A = this chain, B = another copy of it.
């Protein structure tokens, strides 16, 4: 009964005319915005191609212990024929670009790929995850990261289905970071040639994980640059914007790596008949690296929060500096201005009748009045400068 319903789910897909796209696993803002224009709520398991998807290119590497053959097929039929004619070989079908819905459906049906997972492949965003399907086959999603020159983390999805003698990988870009694995196969001596497709799937997962380190190193460099900039330069809003941007990058990176770690933990918990112990041994290594990547991301987070503290303190420092200049200049000159104003008063020395009023500003009539006044002014300035010097206001922090 259950089986019937189950297969019904699978079989129905080609004939179900539910047209609108199902919004699956979108977590990025752009992807989310785009999704608003699509109709939500459609039947799950409906394949749906994004509008701007690239036309698929089909690469296949076929190999056994002794030989390997690498080729780009322009026709899927040809590829299929070749695949069926070499059952003794192992195959890595490497699909780059999704922009051909009927082709995707043919691949899904020919290789018995489950529709819900296929939807995850073609959807906008899928966290790293692992699903078991069919006959102990694995569906693995990894996210490949890249740190662009203008400080954004780009991530592309790599989806892998394993089979008895094949793996199929899907990615939405023609460029990827998997060449080192291809080179190992091309070298003709790699262990991949002598191992099961599961080992190849592992090798791909591992190389994606390895690419997290350069991304993190770039982030680390950038944080160091920011630190220097705050200490050297003047704090300004552009600097804060850069700090907050790299903070976003780290948030994003963590959102990428946490599921990766969970995926690896789940792989390690799989029963041995699904994933043999000798493969798990390698994944254990990957798991270790994922943990270390998270470790580092966490410490970058703390660095960023230190940077924000530093920035705010730096801003406050600048205000202090501005205020000190104002205070020093005002404190020195305002009293001086008072003194000179004092002797600018017009109290009359003589009354209307020509009598001298001796109490009215006798200083003005002293022969040394002016020099003494100037001396007093100089004294005031000196006292203040000493005071400010002692307070340390005349030196920069």
| Bound Cα distance A248, B22 (Å) | 29
Q: Tell me which residues from 366 to 389 in chain A have a Cβ below 8 Å from any Cβ of chain B.
A: 366-371, 373
Contact with B along A311-333 (1 / 0, CB 8 A): 11111111110111111011101
Say yes or no: A18-B190 contact (C-beta < 8 A), given A42-B180, A244-B309, A367-B360.
yes
Q: Tell me which residues from 259 to 317 in chain A have a Cβ below 8 Å from any Cβ of chain B.
A: 276-278, 281-282, 285, 288-289, 291-293, 295-296, 298-299, 302-303, 306, 308-317
A contact face: mostly helix, strand, loop, or mixed? helix
B191 lies within 8 A of A9 (CB): yes
Chain B residues, CB < 8 A from A27: 292-293, 295-296
Asked if A35 is at the interface (CB within 8 A of a chain B CB), the reply is yes
Contact of A40 among B214, B291, B329, B343 (CB under 8 A): B214
Asked if A75 is at the interface (CB within 8 A of a chain B CB), the reply is no
Nearest Cβ on chain B to A306's Cβ, whole angstroms: 5
A237 lies within 8 A of B322 (CB): no
Chain B residues, CB < 8 A from A80: none
Asked if A55 is at the interface (CB within 8 A of a chain B CB), the reply is no
Contact of A244 among B234, B306, B343, B361 (CB under 8 A): B306
Contact of A323 among B181, B313, B322, B346 (CB under 8 A): B322
Asked if A84 is at the interface (CB within 8 A of a chain B CB), the reply is no
| Bound Cα distance A330, B327 (Å) | 9
B397 lies within 8 A of A234 (CB): yes
Query: Residue among A22, A43, A216, A276 with the most chain B CB within 10 A?
Result: A43
B187 lies within 8 A of A35 (CB): no
Asked if A217 is at the interface (CB within 8 A of a chain B CB), the reply is yes
A316 lies within 8 A of B315 (CB): yes
A41 lies within 8 A of B326 (CB): no
- Name which of A152-160, A167-175, A351-359 contacts chain B: A351-359
Asked if A32 is at the interface (CB within 8 A of a chain B CB), the reply is yes
Contact of A281 among B26, B116, B127, B333 (CB under 8 A): B116
- Name which of A87-95, A105-113, A202-210 contacts chain B: A202-210
CB within 8 Å of B: which residues of A? 2, 5-6, 8-9, 12, 15-18, 20, 22-27, 29, 32-33, 35-36, 39-44, 116, 125, 127, 129, 177-181, 184, 187, 189-192, 194-196, 203, 206-207, 210-211, 213-214, 216-218, 220-221, 224, 231, 234-238, 240-241, 244, 247-248, 251-252, 255, 276-278, 281-282, 285, 288-289, 291-293, 295-296, 298-299, 302-303, 306, 308-320, 322-327, 329-331, 333-338, 340-348, 351-352, 356-357, 359-361, 363-371, 373, 392-393, 397
